[in-house]
Amino acid sequence: MDTMTELLYLKDSYQTEFLATITDQWLDPKKGYVVTLDRTAFYPTGGGQPHDIGTLNGVPVHSVEWVDDQVHHYVDSPIKENVVQGMIDWEHRFDLMQQHTGQHVMAAILKRMYDIDMEGFDIGDVTVTIDLKTKPLSNDQLFKIEQLANTIILKNEPIRATIVQPNALEAFDLVHDITREGDVRIVSIESFDDTPCGGTHLSSTGELQVIKLLGTERISGGARLSFVCGRRAVSHYALQHARIENFARLLETSDERIEGKLHRWKKERVEREKEIEQLKEQLLTYEATELWDGSGTVVRGFTERSIHELKALATILTKTHPHALVSLFTMNGSNVQLLATRGADHPLNLRDIASDFFGVCNGRGGGSPTFIQGAGTSEETIETLERNIASVLSSQRVLV
C-alpha cells in the first residue's frame, strides 16, 4: 500500500516505542480527534487482524484505521506538540501476534497437509476463527491438526518477514499465485510455509506456546474452525480446569468421576420420569372414578389445569364407560379451554354440537365426531359454565 507514513511494524513487530512527527491533525465530527504521522508502529485494522492500541504523548489511541492510504490514529484529545512519542500496548500487541502467527500455522497445515483452502480469518476478542472451503472435519482430523500445530511450536522454527521483488518470488514456496504488482512482503516459517502478509508476527514458533482447537461448525459452503493460541490457550486451560473442579464440588465427587455420576443421574432421571407418569395415570384413574356418578354425562370445570391432563382424564372416563358423554374445561382468569368427548357406544356426532358447545364461552375449536377441543373467554363462574355446557349436551341428547 502506498503511503506517506513509514510503517515501522513491518520491519520490527517487537518495537513498542517510537518518535514521530505529526503531519496532520483534525477533529472528525463522528470519530473524534484524528492524527496522521510521518512514521508509526501502530498496526491499523486490516487483513483479519485488529488494530493496536497505545498512546501518543500519553494520549490514548483507541483506534487505528487505513483511510485513503493514510494511517489514521484516533485519539481521545488533541495533541499540542509536533513531535510525539508513541507507545504500543505490548500485552495487546503480543496477544495479536500470537493469534495471528497461530493462524499462519493452522492455514499452512490445512493447505499443505489436507489441501484445504482458507476463505478468511478473524481474530476476535476471545477466539480466532478461520473459514475453510471443506466438508466438516472429523474429530480424528482435528486431533491430528492440533498435534501437528503443537509439534511445529515445539520445533521453535524461526519466522522471518522479507520484502521480495516480483521477479524473485520463484524462490518462495507459495501455495497461491500473487496477482498484484509491486514488492511483496513474504512471511516465512522456516521449514514449511511462505505466505504473503502485512501483519505483525512472532519471531519464532516457540513463542506461540500452544495452540488449542476449540471446535468446528458448518457454515455456508464450508466449515469454520475456532482456536486459541498462546496466553489465550493457557487461560482457556485454566478456566476449563476451574470449571471442572467446580462441577466436581457441586456433584460432590472427584474430577474423574463426574462423567460416571452424570450418566447415572441421567438414567435415574429417566426412570423417575417414567414413575411420575405412572403415578399421574393412577391419580387420574382415581379422579375419574370420583367424577363418575352413573348418570352417563360428566361436565366439570377446573381452575388452571393443563388441557392435556383433562384430555387424559376424559379418555379414561370414556374408555371405562363406552356410553359416557364427557366435557371438561379449565379456566385461567377469563380464558377458557374446553373439550368434549364420548365413549365408543354413544351415538352423538360431536361436530354437530360444536358451534353451540364452543358458543358457551364465545370460543372456537374443532375435532372429530368423537372428540372436540377449543378455547374462548367467559366472565361467568365455573358453575354457570358447567350448567350451560350440560344444557347444550342434554338438548342434543333429546334429539339423538
Q: What are the residues binding Zn ion (CB under 5 A)? A: 197, 199
Minimum Å gap between C-beta 142 and Zn ion is 23
Q: How far is CA 205 from CA 149, 192, 364, in A?
A: 10, 12, 71
State which residue, 199 or 376, has the beta carbon closest to Zn ion.
199
State which residue, 43 or 357, has the beta carbon closest to Zn ion.
43
How far is the C-alpha of 177 from the C-alpha of 252, rounded, in Å? 59
Minimum Å gap between C-beta 102 and Zn ion is 10
In the bound state, the residue with its beta carbon closest to Zn ion is 197
How far is the C-alpha of 65 from the C-alpha of 115, rounded, in Å? 34
Q: How far is CA 243 from CA 30, 215, 236, 246, 380, in A?
A: 43, 18, 10, 5, 55
User: Which cell goes with 217?
Assistant: 461448525
Minimum Å gap between C-beta 104 and Zn ion is 5
Composition of the chain by helix, strand, coil, percent to 5: 40, 35, 30
Minimum Å gap between C-beta 59 and Zn ion is 29
Q: 208 near 106, Cβ under 8 Å? A: no
Question: Would you tell me how many other CB atoms lie within 10 Å of the CB of residue 103?
Answer: 26
102 contacts: CB under 8 Å, gap ≥ 6: 128, 149, 208, 211, 227, 228, 229, 230
Minimum Å gap between C-beta 181 and Zn ion is 20
Minimum Å gap between C-beta 47 and Zn ion is 7
Q: 40 near 5, Cβ under 8 Å? A: yes
State which residue, 11 or 263, has the beta carbon closest to Zn ion.
11
How far is the C-alpha of 343 from the C-alpha of 324, rounded, in Å? 5
70 contacts: CB under 8 Å, gap ≥ 6: 3, 4, 5, 36
| Contacts within 8 Å (CB) and 24+ apart, 106-109 | 106/130, 106/145, 106/149, 106/211, 106/225, 106/227, 107/195, 108/189, 108/192, 108/193, 108/195, 109/145, 109/148, 109/149, 109/152
State which residue, 63 or 195, has the beta carbon closest to Zn ion.
195
Q: What angle do CA 321, 326, 351 make, to 5 degrees?
A: 115
Minimum Å gap between C-beta 256 and Zn ion is 41
Minimum Å gap between C-beta 241 and Zn ion is 31
State which residue, 96 or 393, has the beta carbon closest to Zn ion.
96
Minimum Å gap between C-beta 93 and Zn ion is 14
State which residue, 158 or 369, has the beta carbon closest to Zn ion.
158
State which residue, 130 or 372, has the beta carbon closest to Zn ion.
130
State which residue, 9 or 358, has the beta carbon closest to Zn ion.
9
State which residue, 164 or 298, has the beta carbon closest to Zn ion.
164
Q: What is the DSSP letter of 7?
A: E
